[in-house]
Copies of this chain bind each other. A is one copy, B any other.
Amino acid sequence: MTALEHSAEPGYDAAVVDLLGAMACAELLAFERLAYDATMAPTIDDKAELARMAVAEFNHHTALRARLVELGADPSAAMEPFVDSLTELHRRTTPADWLEGLVKAYVGDGLAAEFYREISRHLDAATRDLVLRVLADTGHSSFVVPRVRAAIAADARVAGRLALWGRRLVGEIMTQAQRLAGEREALASLIIGGTGPDGRDREGIDLAEIARMLGRLTEGHGARMADLGLDA
């Protein structure tokens, strides 16, 4: 594990492999679901926009996979623990139509970006660089905003339905995230900065820090719903 040579803590190395495995798996499934949702596009140009976003997710997957290989980990084994719960998350949040697909793409892209920003604060330099590179390449979902706003302008009832959908999405995502955090303690500890590359280990999870992070994520989600013209 040459790339983690500054790590003073074996728990940190395992947690980083877990984190990269979770991200690589999430990006691959995001690719797959966005590509599937693109089948509902009303025009060929809309289809191409969502497809472009899917391709960006796949490129992130490829970068994360390469980093796992660099760390001496088996990417397939690193992703495996996350396949079922992330597949289940997508199954529970399958959009019923194009507009629900757009809102999911926007909300999901935004939450992923914030998650990457949060986690980057607790990582060794090489892993942080990768996460920030992936983060810099998110935001392909801005095409969603005028489309959702136009749909609401054309039919105000759409706003109520999509607001409900947005709340359902964030609820399902938070539920699965909590379930995963319970199952993968080292990963959860890494995410909130309890396990660091400096060997610092606060022994257990800081509940106040979790609450602050959830607060920031919820606030960001509210801002994105507002972008779309929706109540959070």
Contacts and interface: CB of A to CB of B under 8 A. Distances in A.
Interface in A21-45: 25, 28, 31-32, 35-36, 38-39, 43-45
Interface stretch (A55-63, A115-123, A136-144, A204-212): A55-63
A214 interface: no
Interface in A57-103: 58-59, 61-62, 65, 75-76, 79-80, 83
Most buried by B among A35, A36, A47: A35
A51 to B, nearest CB: 6
B39 A25 contact: no
Contacts of A167: none
B51 A28 contact: yes
A17 to B, nearest CB: 15
A54 interface: yes
A150 interface: no
Contact of A28 (B25, B44, B76): B44
13 contacts: A28-B47, A32-B38, A32-B51, A35-B35, A35-B54, A36-B36, A36-B39, A43-B76, A44-B76, A44-B79, A44-B83, A48-B65, A51-B58
Interface of A: 25, 28, 31-32, 35-36, 38-39, 43-45, 47-48, 51-52, 54-55, 58-59, 61-62, 65, 75-76, 79-80, 83
Given A32-B38, A32-B51, A52-B58, 13 more contacts: A28-B47, A28-B48, A32-B39, A32-B47, A35-B35, A35-B36, A35-B38, A36-B39, A44-B83, A48-B61, A48-B65, A51-B58, A52-B62
